[in-house]
Amino acid sequence: MQYRGSRRLLHISALGLLPVLSACGGVASLGAPSPPVRETGAVACATFNGPGGSTYNEFLGINNQNEIVGYAGLVGSYKFHAGKSYEVGRYPGSVDTVLTSLNNGHAVAGWYEDTKGNIFGFSEWEGIWTKYQDPHTAGDATRFLGINDSGEIVGYYENRQGIDHAFAVLATGKFRPILPHGSSPAATAVNDRGQIVGWETVASGATEGWLLDGKRFTKVAYPGAVSTRPSGINESGEIVGSYKDAAGNTHGFILTQPLTAPRWQQFDEPNASGETVLAGIDDRDHLVGYFQNAAGRVVAFFCR
């Protein structure tokens, strides 16, 4: 199961081809990481079956007000006010909508599919929905996966050859391609310091994560993993995501101090009997994600 991402809109003006967010500065490695630490039941977690009795439910993003965006099998995308209520989120006239992220100003970002099968990025703020198509797609899929408090949005577009291209869009409408050294990169999250995480395919064919800080890319690859997919980063630079081990099992991970003294933690939701995916982290280290239980159901969780 791969990261889905929410599907809502934000108004962006028409964009031209603008300067590339440079990959110069090289790729920094994480050096010799500390031994991974297994984190099982180390925090208090609450599970959620989803609105409307859904047996498929994913939490995909969280802000500092404990507002969460998710995707449930019976209702589609929604915003959840922890301890309060669910609010279904659907781009007007869409066939499907996925809300992937939200910021502390209550703006939401994601992507949606129209009746012709086209996929657009979007944002929504105070009831105003705005769609976005990457200027290089010529009608192909564009997905927003992360948004910060300044309105910067990150994501990727897929061209007609099926190749992904990561990008960032500022609130001003300035478009910046993101060019790590691998192929088919996707940008998945951005914090208020402008640090961006994502993943790409490397020369070996494996999927590895990356962290872009200024103009420098740092590899984010869980030790011994077959693939690593970062999906969230908070103000402190802590990164969460998922990785697949050599046996094909998917676990969540938490990476702290990635640029100075990296420490990896494996995270398995205590009720999981299948995969665990960490999708988001807020500035108080609250975690959201989803896991597969013994009955094969996908269940959302919130941990503090």
Yes or no: say if 112 and 94 are a contact pair by the CB < 8 Å rule.
Answer: yes
Distances (CA, A) of 129 to 32, 113, 120, 122, 190: 45, 14, 12, 7, 21
Distance, in Å, from the CA atom of 262 to the CA atom of 251, rounded to the nearest integer, reads 18
Which amino acid, 96? Answer: D
Per-residue pLDDT tens over the stretch 83-118 = 677 888 999 999 999 999 999 999 999 999 999 999
User: Which is nearest to 231 in space by CA: 222, 223, 112?
Assistant: 222
Distance, in Å, from the CA atom of 125 to the CA atom of 122, rounded to the nearest integer, reads 10
3-state secondary structure of 301: strand
pTM: 0.87
Residue 205 has pLDDT above 60, yes or no: yes
pLDDT of residue 50: 78
Specify which of 6-20, 22-36, 45-59, 182-196 reaches the highest per-range mean pLDDT. 182-196
Q: Which domains does the chain have, with CATH numbers?
A: 45-303 (2.120.10.30)
pLDDT band at 139; cut points 50, 70, 90: low
Higher pLDDT, 228 or 10: 228
3-state secondary structure of 53: helix
Yes or no: say if 236 and 48 are a contact pair by the CB < 8 Å rule.
Answer: no
Distance, in Å, from the CA atom of 36 to the CA atom of 184, rounded to the nearest integer, reads 28
Percent of the residues in the chain that have a pLDDT greater than 90, as a whole number: 71
pLDDT band at 17; cut points 50, 70, 90: very low
Per-residue pLDDT tens over the stretch 36-82 = 444 444 468 999 987 877 889 999 999 999 999 999 998 999 998 86
Distances (CA, A) of 114 to 95, 146, 162, 208, 266: 5, 21, 19, 31, 38
